[in-house]
């Protein structure tokens, strides 16, 4: 399996090369040259694998189609080491639970940091450590987080040999619990940098550093954001697991609703659908920062600036520049790399927008690729949290509430709708108290976490300052 850049760079690379690299040299994102096709017989076999052997065995089956430069026995062992009931709480790892007729929740938030990002990040930590040991190298991971990626990456990488983490987050914009999860870590290989801006500023700094190829090479810079293909690939697995739990046979289609900011989570669903998983619709649920909803309704992709990015009660989706969106547009345009480069490399830089509304490819987003969308506001999520609690006795977090609200608008008769849960309610306790008048429960390891000493460096929006900090600390 070889990987190409969405912007047309001539070089083709193997999995372990792009695992440690992140962005392609031309600023594009990596995708496989082709999506492996899964036929009915394979789906049937995988259904049995998941039922009889569990999630780790299913993960090996999916990942092995994309990873052929790690010996099969080693890859199987890495999956088995990652996806255990001890780490994720259940044998199913991502258990499905019914909410109301036709609508299910897929629990993705039972990992160490109580968010779906653990599903990929725990595997990424083991993959990084494995490959660095094979090469005798070290890696300095640079990432940006709007809330959950940071803690998931840091908990996965803390104490790992040959790895340091430099994580950027928007200063004061995450929930107190999210901040405490990250900033309370005292591990010497973990560095938290709070940027005086919004998430998109953090993401832009990561990209600016990645574009400085000399700096990137000199300091062995890698990424864990969903621009890293390995992370997105790991997320593909739980679409298959959710499908197998929601259906009795491969003749049944399933739709998925995904709370979306950076487009990584739902892009994994796109990959699963391209492989042949019988997905009817992929429903993109946004909050007030509705750049993705606007695109899927109109064809206009309009990036908002910091001043126009709302601070909401589902803060992990307070994103107005969806990094992974380039991967989907590349496929939507028939894998036209020059045009993708013109849109994402030129038009966005120059105009902050592009419009595909009149392009003949745009209707394919819904008709061929199954994408629809919707938007949820603070009032919507409060009402949804209250409704789900009063009717079903289930407490859901704010982002999952956005998903449930939008999912209800797109349920089709006879097609199970699976909403991907994104986090446990305790991560957003303030809004849960507003909605329900009570604190969510919290796992024992996180009791009093907000009162622990914090270790964080506050910086302005300045890529050069961040680079100087990395250079000063990457040998420490």
Active-site amino acid positions: 117
User: Cα separation of 213 and 202, whole Å?
Assistant: 19
- State how far the Cα of 433 lies from the Cα of 428, in Å rounded to an integer: 9
Q: Read off the DSSP letter of residue 414.
A: T
- Are the CB atoms for 8 and 337 separated by under 8 Å? yes
Of 422, 417, 416, 374, the closest CA to residue 398 belongs to 422
> What dihedral do alpha carbons 320, 185, 115, 169 form, nearest 10°?
0
Ramachandran angles phi, psi of 474, nearest 5°: -75, -10
Phi, psi (rounded to 5 degrees) for 281: -125, 145
> Distance (Å, rounded) from C-alpha 219 to C-alpha 476?
12
Q: Give the whole-angstrom CA distance, residue 29 versus residue 202.
A: 18
How far CA 185 is from CA of 73, 175, 430, 456, in Å, comes to 33, 16, 23, 9
Measure the N-to-C terminal CA separation of the chain; round to a whole number of Å: 36
Please write down the HEC assignment for all residues of 38-104: CCHHHHHHHHHHHHHHCHHHHHHHHHCCCCCCCCHHHHHHHHHHHCCHHHHCCCCCCCEEEEECCEE
448-455: long-range contacts, CB 8 A cutoff, minimum separation 24:
449/177, 449/180, 449/181, 449/184, 450/176, 450/177, 450/180, 452/180, 452/184, 453/184, 453/186, 454/179, 454/180, 454/183, 454/184, 455/183, 455/184, 455/185, 455/186, 455/190, 455/192
Nearest CA among 152, 197, 147 for reference residue 171? 197
Please list, in sequence order, all residues whose beta carbon lies within 8 angstroms of the beta carbon of residue 130, skipping any fewer than 6 positions away.
70, 74, 78
């Amino acid at each position: 399996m070889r990987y190409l850049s969405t912007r047309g760079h001539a070089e083709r690379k193997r999995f372990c090369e792009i695992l440690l690299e992140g962005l392609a040299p031309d600023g594009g994102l990596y995708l496989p040259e082709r999506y492996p096709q899964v036929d009915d017989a394979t789906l049937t076999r995988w259904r049995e694998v998941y039922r009889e052997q569990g999630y780790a065995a299913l993960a090996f089956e999916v990942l092995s189609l994309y990873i052929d430069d790690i010996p099969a026995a080693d890859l199987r062992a890495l999956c088995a080491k990652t996806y255990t009931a001890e780490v994720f709480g259940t044998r199913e790892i991502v258990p499905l639970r019914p909410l109301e007729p036709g609508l299910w929740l897929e629990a993705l938030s039972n990992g160490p940091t109580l968010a779906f990002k653990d599903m990929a990040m725990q595997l990424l930590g083991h993959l990084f450590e494995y490959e660095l040991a094979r090469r005798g190298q070290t890696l300095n991971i640079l990432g940006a987080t709007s809330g959950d990626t940071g803690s998931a990456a840091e908990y996965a990488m803390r104490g790992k040999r040959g790895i340091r983490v430099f994580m950027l987050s928007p200063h004061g914009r995450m929930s107190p619990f999210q901040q405490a999860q990250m900033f309370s870590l005292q591990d010497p290989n973990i560095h938290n940098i709070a940027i005086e801006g919004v998430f998109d500023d953090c993401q832009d700094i990561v990209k600016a550093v990645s574009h400085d190829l000399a700096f990137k090479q000199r300091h062995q810079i890698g990424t864990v954001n969903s621009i890293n293909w390995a992370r997105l690939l790991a997320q593909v697995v739980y679409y298959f697991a959710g499908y197998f739990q929601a259906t009795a046979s491969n003749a049944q289609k399933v739709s998925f609703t995904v709370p979306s900011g950076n487009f990584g989570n739902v892009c994994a669903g796109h990959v699963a659908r391209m492989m042949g998983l019988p997905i009817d619709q992929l429903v993109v649920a946004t909050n007030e920062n509705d750049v993705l909803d606007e695109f899927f309704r109109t064809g206009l992709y309009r990036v908002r600036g910091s001043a126009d990015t709302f601070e909401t009660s589902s803060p992990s989706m307070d994103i107005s520049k969806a990094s992974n969106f380039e991967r989907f547009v590349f496929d939507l345009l028939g894998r036209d790399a020059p045009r993708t480069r013109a849109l994402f490399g030129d038009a966005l830089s120059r105009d902050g927008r592009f419009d595909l509304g009149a392009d003949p490819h745009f209707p394919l987003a819904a008709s061929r690729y199954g994408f629809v969308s919707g938007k949820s506001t603070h009032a919507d999520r409060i009402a949804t949290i209250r409704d789900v609690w009063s009717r079903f006795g289930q407490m859901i977090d704010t982002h999952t509430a956005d998903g449930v609200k939008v999912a209800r608008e797109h349920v089709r008769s006879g097609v199970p709708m699976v909403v991907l849960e994104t986090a446990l309610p305790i991560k957003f306790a303030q809004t849960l108290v507003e909605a329900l008048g009570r604190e969510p429960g919290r796992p024992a390891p996180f009791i009093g976490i907000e009162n622990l000493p914090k270790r964080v460096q506050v910086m302005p929006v300045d890529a050069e300052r961040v680079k100087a900090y990395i250079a000063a600390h990457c040998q420490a």
